[in-house]
Structure 1
Amino acid sequence: MPDHAGRAPLRADAVRNRANILRAARTLIAARGEQAGMDEIAREAGVAVGTLYRHFPTKADLVGAIVAEMIERVFSALDAAVARVEAGGGALAAITDLLREISEAAGTDRAVKEALVNRADGTHPYAELDQRARDGLARLVAAAHAEGTLRDDVTTEDLVLILATLPGDELPEPARRRWLRLALRGVTREDLPD
């Protein structure tokens, strides 16, 4: 039965190959960023390069699939933060936890960092997803303003900027934590606990 785009469904071996390609690409891109080569990814996946290109005609297509997964990871954290605030939790605590979680992910997975950096300006094919992220961040910012914990001039775009500039694995984990603490100190009205 064709899918919604009119394509025939993938055979079981094709589904398996695609999953292996994505797993290998995630592993290599997490470790080396977009510098990982297609031949290397195919070898790691245990498939021929032609098989890789049948699933992902360009490296941009493959990276886009990985980045889309990373975007969903970020959205999961964002949705959880918004849900905590809507359930009566503190907005500043939710923002802090969200930024810490994403910072930790960016420090161990270059694809997360690249997803954040490459989407900061909203001028890419994922603009609809960016709007969803900005809407969630706007709800957190509004709640934090209502509780009086964010500086009056802090906007949603300020949080987008903090996310886009989070350090990745170029800094050791203690330095990433310090960077985040300094960034949060710049937007909040109160001192944050360690």
Structure 2
Amino acid sequence: MASGEATVPRRADARRNRARILAAAEAVFAEKGESASTEEVARRAGVAVGTVFRHFPTKSELVEAILMGVLQRLMDHAEALHRTEPAEGLFLLYRDVVAQASAQRSVIDLMFRAEGVRLTTGVSALRKAVGVLLDDARRAGSVRPDVALDEVMALLAALSEGAVSGEWGEELRQRTLAVVFAGLRA
């Protein structure tokens, strides 16, 4: 457990402050990358900088919390797609992840470079959720039976990295995804 997490239930105002800090931090890091300051995060969250440090004693703990939030949203999205559209869920997740990578370039870039037990666990959980979508897509005949999870994750990472570093526009993103999907389809 990171030192920025309490072991006892938080008061409602502390939970609200933490949520505001994380939302502001995600926006600030998306705009400014690693050069983002905790002072800017505090200003946008409408809290004192001391409040930021009470929740996240170090900048790395704040970045980790942002990345864990991004991973959790991706896992939740993958699970929702599994329940609603098994045949095309994998392709929908690809579209959404690459679009998010384009929109949140700095945050996604930090995620690719980040290390730590919690992030490794989060990435493993995301990998498992993507594996379920892949299994569903293979069973439904949407994806070739010889496509393995390692290839799917490598492609997803490469596409996201391309969208981050290449600053892909919508048209290029859609054309690139169409090529990848054609290669994955049964």
Could you list the structure 1 runs, at least 4 aligned residues long, displaced by more than 6 angstroms after superposition: none
SS at match of 1:126: helix
Is residue 134 of structure 2 the alignment partner of residue 137 of structure 1? Answer: no
- Corresponding residue of 1:173: 170
Q: Which amino acid aligns with 2:154?
A: L
Distance in 2 (alpha carbons) for counterparts of 1:155 and 1:138:
9
Q: Which structure shows the bigger proportion of residues in helix conformation?
A: 2
- Corresponding residue of 1:21: 21
Q: 1:156 aligns with which of 149, 159, 173?
A: 149
Alignment length (residue pairs): 178
**Residue 100 of structure 1 contacts residue 180 of structure 1 at CA under 8 Å; is this kept in 2?**
yes
- Corresponding residue of 2:139: 146
Q: Which amino acid aligns with 2:91?
A: T
Deviation of the 1:108 alpha carbon: 1.6
Deviation of the 1:56 alpha carbon: 0.6
Identity value in percent: 33
Higher relative contact order (CA 8 A, sep 6+): 2
Q: What is the TM-score with the length of structure 2 in the denominator?
A: 0.78
Distance in 2 (alpha carbons) for counterparts of 1:20 and 1:109:
18
Find the structure with the greater CA-based Rg: 1
**Residue 70 of structure 1 contacts residue 115 of structure 1 at CA under 8 Å; is this kept in 2?**
no
Unaligned stretches of 5+ residues in structure 1: 190-194
Deviation of the 1:179 alpha carbon: 2.0
Q: What is the TM-score with the length of structure 1 in the denominator?
A: 0.75
SS at match of 1:146: helix
Unaligned stretches of 5+ residues in structure 2: none
SS at match of 2:142: coil
- Corresponding residue of 1:102: 97
